[in-house]
Structure 1
Amino acid sequence: MAISTNAARLCRLAGRTVSPLLVKQRRAVSLPQRRCFVTTSTGNNATFRLDERTAHSSLDLFKKDTAVIYRMLGLDPSHVQDNPERFRDWAVVFGDEKISSGRHYWEVTVKKSQEFRLGVAEDLMSREDCVGTNSSSWVFGYAQRKWFAMTNKTIIPVTLVGKPDRIGILLDYEEGLLGLVDIEKPRIIHAIRVHFKTPLCPAFGLWDGELLTHSGLEAPEGLK
């Protein structure tokens, strides 16, 4: 299903008002072919922190870079170190781990946010885009008290009653599976199937409140 007007609104600029003139005049920045991350995961149980170099200026990292909070005004972009890895228009931050194989599981405490996206994105995804709006990112989102899965501007409603305080993300690189996990059951609530071809990073979008990540975890027993 093509992205709707409401869905497009969910992709709004994070706490910024940008005129069409400024958008037209913005210079494209090419990402380097290789970027320096802390580690590259080819096994299981990826452990990551949030990468400040990628964080939009409205996002502040805390708790040793395992948590992120959204500031509506944020910092003036001109006061943030300029580099091609940073998201300039969208309230997005990546994890500092590249995943190129294996089965990985992490959880996110979401109880203090009412609008966010959780998932993965290709390491070299364009910083001009928001996660979920291109073919290089796959996310589960929550907004207007509803869950959805999203990639390449296509939104699929996810049936989940209410919002738990904490949610799980399961990534199986070889199987091409990204799952949203109910950690209480446990069970996969919704799965996105895709043939991954390049290294992935944990990806987060936040437009309200805060998120706390918990990585390096074993997937719950019995989770298919």
Structure 2
Amino acid sequence: MSKTSNLFDCVLFDLDGTLLDTSYDFSYALNLLCEQHQLTPPSYDRVRNTVSQGGAAVTALAFNPNDTDAFEQHRQAFLALYKQHIHLHTQIFPGLLAGLVHLAKVNMPWGIVTNKPQGLTEHLLEHFSFPSAPKTVICGDTLAVRKPHPEPMLLAASECGVDPKRCLYLGDHPRDIEAGINAGMQTGAVLFGYMPPEKMTNLDQADYVFRTPFDITQFLTKKANPLL
């Protein structure tokens, strides 16, 4: 599973497709919007494979992005519906909760670095109670730059009080691996997320590869060491 035995003192997660399975609520919101416009909604699988590209890409599965003004209205309507139903089906990926419990037991800081806007991120997270609270939540609009730029990653490490080299960043998109590498962190590629494995173009650059959430839990319970 790994090509290095380095330990770490902090675990950082991407949000959508890594920590939380948000795909059903994205699909549900788009279905509602399509229903309003009497359109046949795209399949759940198409939505799931697009979630990591953001709200505009999901909206474009059903509405023409070339019609700029109308498309922006559709995008805003989609985001409003998504926010309204943001926690209806979303859950921690099955098999991952035990890993979070372990991090709480060993008092290891963990956090979230996502490109999701702060308003949506905070609204989503307020519906979840984790075994220990994240020490940092860095969103797509927290800074002027976002992943794969290293600054959000470095800010997360700073807020956790850990050297970036001692951080493990887990994500399901090539930009997550790139962001972790840019920040000098250890990286874990998540293959159960929203990016088809064949599109993880920098998979060979990741330090670890995880095919299931349970793989992450097993890895954390064996590798994670509390701060001294």
Higher-helix-fraction structure: 2
Structure 2 length as normaliser, TM-score? Answer: 0.27
Structure 1 length as normaliser, TM-score? Answer: 0.28
Larger-Rg structure: 2
